Chain A
Amino acid sequence: MGDYAYAAPTSLEEALSVLESQANDGQRTQILAGGTDVLVQMRSIDKEPRTLVDIKHIAETNALSIGTDEIFIGAAIPSAALNENDELKGLLPGLIEAADLIGSTQIQGRATIGGNLCNSSPAGDTIPALMTVSAVCVIASPGGSREVAVEDFVTGVGENCLESNEILVGLKIPRPGNNSADAYLRFIPRTEMDIAVAGAGVALTLDEGGTCTSARVAIGAVAPTVLLVEAASTALVGTKVDDDALNAAAAACSDAASPITDKRGTVEYRKKVVGVLCKRAGAIARDRASS
C-alpha cells in the first residue's frame, strides 16, 4: 500500500507531469478541486492512499471569462464565487442556481462545477444544467488539449471519459442570446443539504412572438447518468411553452427516466417527480426568456 501525498502544481504542464510521474511510481492519483466529494469518499468509502493533485493553483482552472460568443468557467472556481458574479448569473441563471444548490454555504465555499461534473454522480446538480446550455469540457492531456460535449463526458455511475493522466480544465459554454434562458430545479426532502432525488434542467430560446425555437431538457438522479430528453425538447419547440406543451414535456421526462429505488426515493416517485420538475423548470425558463 502506498502512502498519502499532496501536490500543488502551479501550471498545467506541471500538473500533467505530476500525474505521469506518480503513475510511473505505481502511486494512485486523484485530482483535487473543492474536495467536498473527494475527501468524503477518501475517508469513508474508498480508503486507498493516493496522491492528491490540487489544481487550485493553476491559472487556467481558475479562469472565468465572459466573451461575446463564449463563456469559460474554470474547473477550480468555487460555486460561491460564481454566485457572486452578477453578469454570469444573468446569463446562466439555471446553471448558477444549480451550483448554488449543492450543499450548504460552507460546501459552496469549496465545491466546484468541475468537481461536481467529474464526480459524475447520477444526481450531480450541475450536470443537467450544463447539458441544457450545451457546455463543452476542455480537457488537458499529455498529448495536448481535447474537448468533449458534456453529454458525452459522463459514462456511467461515478465514471467519466477522463483518463487518469488527464485534467478537466474548465467548461466552455456558448453565450446565450437574448430571449434565451435556463432553469434548474431539483427535488429534495428537506429545504437544503440533501442529494437530489430528481432534477430537471430546461434551457430554451423564444422568438419575438414568444414561440419556442429551441429547447434542451435534461433530467438527473433518475438514471445511471444524466439524460438529455429529445422528446421533451420536441414537445416544447414550436409552442408557446403553455401548460399543454409543458405537460407533454413532463410526460416525456417521466417516460425517459429509468431510476432505481434507494434510500432517497422509489422508482415510481422519481419518475413522477422528475416530470413535475420539468414542468416547473420549463415555466421558469420561459418566464426568464420572455423578460
Chain B
Amino acid sequence: MAEAHDLKVIGTRPVRPDGVEKVTGRANFGADLSLPGMIHGKVLRSPHAHARIKSVDVSGALAMEGVLAAVSGSDFAEQTDDLGRNVIARDKALYHGHAVAAVAATTPLLAEQALDAIKVDYDVLEPVLSIDQAIADGATLVNEEMHTNGDASQPASNVAAITKFERGDAEKGFAEADVVVEGEFRVPMAHQGYIEPHACTATINEEGKITVWCSTQGHFDVRTQTAAILGTSISKIKVIASEIGGGFGGKLSVYLEPLAVKLSELSNRPVRMVMNREEVFRATGPTSATWCKAKVGAKKDGTITAATAWLSYEAGAFPGAPVGPGCMSVLAPYDLENFSIEGLDVLVNKPKVAAYRAPGAPQAMHAMECVIDDLARELGMDPIDLRLKNAADEGTQAPYGPKFPAIGLKACLEAAKAHPNYTAPVPEGCGRGVACGFWFNIGMQSSAEVLIREDGTVIINEGSPDIGGSRASMCLMAAETLGIPYDRINAHVADTESTGYCNMTGGSRTTFATGMAVVQACEDIIAQCKERAAMTWDIDADQVDWDDGQAVPKPGVNADVDPLSLADIARTWGRTGGPILGRASVNAQGAGAGFSVNWTDLAVDRETGKVDVKAYTAIQDAGRAIHPAYVEGQMQGGAAQGLGWALNEEYIYDDNGVMENAGFLDYRVPVASDLPMIDTQIVEVPNPTHPYGVRGVGETPITAPLAATSNAVRDALGFRVSELPMSPPRLLEAIDSQEG
C-alpha cells in the first residue's frame, strides 16, 4: 500500500464531479422526473395504531372522475415477508400511518380527495406503545404468532428475539472491582430527518417490463424487494437511482415503489408517488427508542474488571430492531476479560424501524459511555486517561469475536488529549463531556466498470448511490491508480441494467468496497495498457511498467521508445486490439473498524433548562481520507444529528399511538443558529485490506455525540439526566427537583 507521502491526488480536495449540477439545481432527485401522461399516486393510511382490517372497499374512489386505479392489500401477492406486509397492510394495521390502500389520479389533489372515498372497516385493538407495556405480564400482543427466538414451546410474546454476548465471569469481575458504577437510560425514537421525502416514478409497458426511477440508497435492493412484493422476476424490473436527498439508512427499504408499479399496471400510465413530510415521519422507518442499563466495575487504578449491558430496543410493528449491532458496539472500545451483554428486540405498534446511521450503536454506546464517565469521576481520573487505560487495540478480541487488526482508537485518544480544544480549560459557566464512538463497518459486494474514451479520458460506472460525495472519491482513487489527472475522470451511478450488481450504499462501505472495485478495474485497465504497449514496442507485457500514467519499459529492458500515455494508447487502440475497458467485482473482506473520540463544551441556562452548545470537536480514524473534506463532512453531519437527538429530537406519541409532532416544526432538528463550528481532526491508521488504507467513516460520527452531550450536561449541572432528549422542560424539571 502506498505511503501517505507517495500519494499524488488522494488526500486533496478537488470539486466533486457532480458538483456543478447540484449547485445549479440541475441534478435530478426522486420527485424531479416527469413522464408524458404521468398521473399521481397517494396512500391511504391507518388512523389506528392497532386494528384488524375487516374489509377495504376502493370502489368509491374508482368511481370518481380522474381516478384511474386503486389498490389494497388483497391486490398483492400473499406475503409471508415482513417488508411486503409493511408496504401495504393485509389483515392488520400495525401502526398509525400503516398503508392500507393507494390510488392514482390525474392530479395530486384528486388523488388525495379520492382517499376519502375509500371505505375501510376496522376492528380497533389496544395498541402496545412502549417496551414497558410490551414486556409486562398479560401484554396485548402485536403479533399473536411471535415467539421469542422462534421458540414455540414458550408463550407468544412481544419480545421477538434476545441476543447475548458473554465472556469470562462478569459477577466475579464486579466482586474484584474497587468501584462499581451503574445507570439506566432512555433514548427516544428519532428519525433520520433526510430533507428529501421518499419519491418515485414507475412505469410498465405492454410486455410487463417495469422501469422505476426513485430516490434510494440501493437500487438493486429496490429491484429485489419490488419483484418479491409484486411476485414478478427481477429480470422484468429496471431501477434508475435518482440523486438522493439524504438517506442515513432510511432509504434502504421500499415503501412506495411496489404501490406505484401496481397502480401503473392498472392505469396503464406512469405513476409518480411522493410522500409528504407528515407521511415520512409517520410511516417510514425511524430508529428504535431504547431502554438500556449499563454497569461497569474497575480497580482504583482505572483497570476495568467487568461490564454488563442490558439493551432493549423498540422494533416497531415487525421484528428487526438493530439489537445485534448495538450489542456489538456497546463495549467495542474496551479490552475486557469479563462482560455480559443482553439485547432485546421488542414489538410495539409503531412504524417498523429502519437503519439510522450506525443503527443501534448510538443508543447502546450512550448508556455505556455515560457510565464510563461516571466511573472516571468516581476514580478521579481524566475521562480520556480512563479510556486509554482500557482501550482496545490491535490484537484485542472484539466483544463480538474477531481480533481487531490495526485500529485507531488509541491514536484518536492521544490526539484528543493533545488537542488545543481539550487542553483549553472549560469555558466559564460551561460543562465538558467526552465519549468514544465506534462502528464495525462492512464490505459486501460491489462492481465497477471503467471505460476509456478514445482521447484517454475515463468514465467510471458503478452502482453505489452517492449520498455524500462518493463519486469524488471514486475519481480520486482512479486518478491515483491510473496516474492521470483527476479532471480527466468522471463517475456515474449507473442503473441496474447498466452496471454490475452492487449492494446498497450503507454500512460505510462505499469508499471501501466500491472503491476497491474501482481500483481493481483500473488495475485491469493498466494490465491491458501494458499489453498494448508491449505489442506496440514488440516486447513482452511483463517487461512493461506503468509509471505516472504512462507505459514505460521496465528498467534494464532494451527498448529505445517514448512512454505511451493512456491517451496515446487509446488513440491507437484500433491497431492493438480494439477499445479498452476495465472491470472488477468484489465481495470485499476486511472492512476496518472506525473509532472516534468526541467532546463538547456547553452551558445550561438554569432558569429555563436551555442548552447552548459552545464548541464541539470530533476526532476519528478514517484509515486514509481519500477526500478529506467529505470525511470531515461525515464527522460534522453525524455530530449534528447526535446533538439534535440528545437535546431536542424525539417522537412524541399520544395514548392512542398517534405521533403528535410529525413535522419539522415540532420534530426539532438542529438549525444553523443552534450549532457552533464543528472542529474535526482526521487520524489515519491505514486499513491494510484496502489498496489505499480506507476505513468507512460515515456511521461512526453519530455514535459518540449522545453521550458526549449527556456527559457535558452532567458536568455543567453537577448531576446526571438519564433520559433523552435533554430538552428544556426535562432539564428544568431535573434542576428544580435537585434544588427543591
A-B contact pairs, 29 of them (CB 8 A): A44-B278, A187-B610, A187-B728, A189-B610, A189-B648, A190-B648, A190-B668, A190-B671, A190-B674, A191-B673, A192-B671, A192-B673, A192-B674, A193-B665, A193-B671, A194-B665, A195-B666, A197-B728, A197-B729, A263-B660, A263-B661, A265-B729, A266-B729, A268-B733, A269-B728, A273-B608, A273-B728, A276-B607, A276-B608
Chain A residue, CB-CB nearest to B612:
A191
Q: Are A194 and B733 in contact (CB under 8 A)?
A: no
Q: Are A195 and B665 in contact (CB under 8 A)?
A: yes
Partner of B652, one of A44, A190, A263: A263
Asked if A57 lies at the interface with its beta carbon under 8 angstroms from chain B, I say no
**Distance between Cα atoms of A291 and B610 in the complex (Å):** 30
Q: Which 9 A-B pairs have the closest CB atoms?
A: A269-B729, A191-B673, A276-B607, A263-B660, A263-B652, A263-B661, A192-B673, A191-B674, A190-B674
Asked if A272 lies at the interface with its beta carbon under 8 angstroms from chain B, I say yes
Looking at the assembled complex, report how far the CB atom of A19 sits from the nearest CB atom of chain B, in whole angstroms.
25
Looking at the assembled complex, report how far the CB atom of B270 sits from the nearest CB atom of chain A, in whole angstroms.
25
Asked if B390 lies at the interface with its beta carbon under 8 angstroms from chain A, I say no
**Distance between Cα atoms of A173 and B631 in the complex (Å):** 55
Of residues 79 to 119 in B, which have CB atoms within 8 Å of A's CB atoms? 112
**Distance between Cα atoms of A194 and B588 in the complex (Å):** 46
Asked if A89 lies at the interface with its beta carbon under 8 angstroms from chain B, I say no
Looking at the assembled complex, report how far the CB atom of B700 sits from the nearest CB atom of chain A, in whole angstroms.
26
Chain A residue, CB-CB nearest to B605:
A276
Looking at the assembled complex, report how far the CB atom of A250 sits from the nearest CB atom of chain B, in whole angstroms.
10
Known pairs A263-B652, A263-B660; A191 contacts B671 (CB<8 A): yes
User: Which residues on B sit within 8 Å (CB–CB) of A266?
Assistant: 729, 733
For B699-733 the 0/1 string (1 means CB < 8 A from A) is 00000000000000000000000000001110011
| Known contacts A190-B648, A190-B670, A192-B673, then 5 further A-B pairs from the complex at CB < 8 Å, ordered by chain A residue | A189-B728, A193-B671, A194-B668, A197-B728, A269-B728
| Among A187, A190, A268, A273: residue with most chain B CB under 10 A | A190
User: Which residues on A sit within 8 Å (CB–CB) of B112?
Assistant: 47
User: Which residues on A sit within 8 Å (CB–CB) of B661?
Assistant: 263
Q: Are A187 and B608 in contact (CB under 8 A)?
A: yes
Looking at the assembled complex, report how far the CB atom of A139 sits from the nearest CB atom of chain B, in whole angstroms.
30
User: Which residues on B sit within 8 Å (CB–CB) of A189?
Assistant: 610, 648, 668, 727-728
**Distance between Cα atoms of A191 and B647 in the complex (Å):** 12
State the A residues within 8 Å of B (CB).
44, 47, 187, 189-195, 197, 262-266, 268-269, 272-273, 276
User: Which residues on B sit within 8 Å (CB–CB) of A47?
Assistant: 112
Looking at the assembled complex, report how far the CB atom of A147 sits from the nearest CB atom of chain B, in whole angstroms.
34
State the B residues within 8 Å of A (CB).
112, 276, 278, 607-610, 648, 652, 660-661, 665-666, 668, 670-671, 673-674, 727-729, 732-733, 736
Q: Are A264 and B728 in contact (CB under 8 A)?
A: no
**Distance between Cα atoms of A264 and B650 in the complex (Å):** 12
**Distance between Cα atoms of A268 and B731 in the complex (Å):** 12
User: Which residues on A sit within 8 Å (CB–CB) of B733?
Assistant: 266, 268-269
Looking at the assembled complex, report how far the CB atom of B436 sits from the nearest CB atom of chain A, in whole angstroms.
27
| Among B608, B609, B652, B733: residue with most chain A CB under 10 A | B608
**Distance between Cα atoms of A269 and B670 in the complex (Å):** 22
Looking at the assembled complex, report how far the CB atom of B159 sits from the nearest CB atom of chain A, in whole angstroms.
29
**Distance between Cα atoms of A265 and B648 in the complex (Å):** 12
**Distance between Cα atoms of A115 and B670 in the complex (Å):** 27
Q: Are B665 and A272 in contact (CB under 8 A)?
A: no
User: Which residues on A sit within 8 Å (CB–CB) of B729?
Assistant: 197, 265-266, 269
Q: Are B666 and A273 in contact (CB under 8 A)?
A: no
Partner of A269, one of B276, B671, B732: B732
**Distance between Cα atoms of A44 and B279 in the complex (Å):** 11
**Distance between Cα atoms of A268 and B674 in the complex (Å):** 25
User: Which residues on A sit within 8 Å (CB–CB) of B728?
Assistant: 187, 189, 197, 265, 269, 273
**Distance between Cα atoms of A194 and B665 in the complex (Å):** 6
**Distance between Cα atoms of A268 and B608 in the complex (Å):** 12
User: Which residues on B sit within 8 Å (CB–CB) of A197?
Assistant: 728-729
**Distance between Cα atoms of A190 and B670 in the complex (Å):** 7
**Distance between Cα atoms of A130 and B60 in the complex (Å):** 50
Chain B residue, CB-CB nearest to A195:
B665
Looking at the assembled complex, report how far the CB atom of B662 sits from the nearest CB atom of chain A, in whole angstroms.
9
Looking at the assembled complex, report how far the CB atom of B38 sits from the nearest CB atom of chain A, in whole angstroms.
22
User: Which residues on A sit within 8 Å (CB–CB) of B608?
Assistant: 187, 273, 276
User: Which residues on B sit within 8 Å (CB–CB) of A272?
Assistant: 732, 736
Looking at the assembled complex, report how far the CB atom of A191 sits from the nearest CB atom of chain B, in whole angstroms.
4
**Distance between Cα atoms of A268 and B732 in the complex (Å):** 10
User: Which residues on A sit within 8 Å (CB–CB) of B607?
Assistant: 273, 276
**Distance between Cα atoms of A73 and B209 in the complex (Å):** 62
Chain B residue, CB-CB nearest to A277:
B608
User: Which residues on A sit within 8 Å (CB–CB) of B660?
Assistant: 262-263
**Distance between Cα atoms of A195 and B276 in the complex (Å):** 21
Chain B residue, CB-CB nearest to A275:
B607
User: Which residues on A sit within 8 Å (CB–CB) of B278?
Assistant: 44
Chain B residue, CB-CB nearest to A1:
B113
User: Which residues on A sit within 8 Å (CB–CB) of B673?
Assistant: 190-192
Q: Are B732 and A273 in contact (CB under 8 A)?
A: yes
Looking at the assembled complex, report how far the CB atom of A57 sits from the nearest CB atom of chain B, in whole angstroms.
26
User: Which residues on B sit within 8 Å (CB–CB) of A262?
Assistant: 660
User: Which residues on B sit within 8 Å (CB–CB) of A263?
Assistant: 652, 660-661, 666
User: Which residues on B sit within 8 Å (CB–CB) of A190?
Assistant: 648, 668, 670-671, 673-674
Looking at the assembled complex, report how far the CB atom of A110 sits from the nearest CB atom of chain B, in whole angstroms.
16
User: Which residues on B sit within 8 Å (CB–CB) of A269?
Assistant: 609, 728-729, 732-733
Chain B residue, CB-CB nearest to A276:
B607
Chain A residue, CB-CB nearest to B663:
A44
Chain A residue, CB-CB nearest to B647:
A189
Looking at the assembled complex, report how far the CB atom of A16 sits from the nearest CB atom of chain B, in whole angstroms.
29
User: Which residues on A sit within 8 Å (CB–CB) of B276?
Assistant: 44
Chain A residue, CB-CB nearest to B278:
A44
Chain A residue, CB-CB nearest to B611:
A189
User: Which residues on B sit within 8 Å (CB–CB) of A195?
Assistant: 665-666
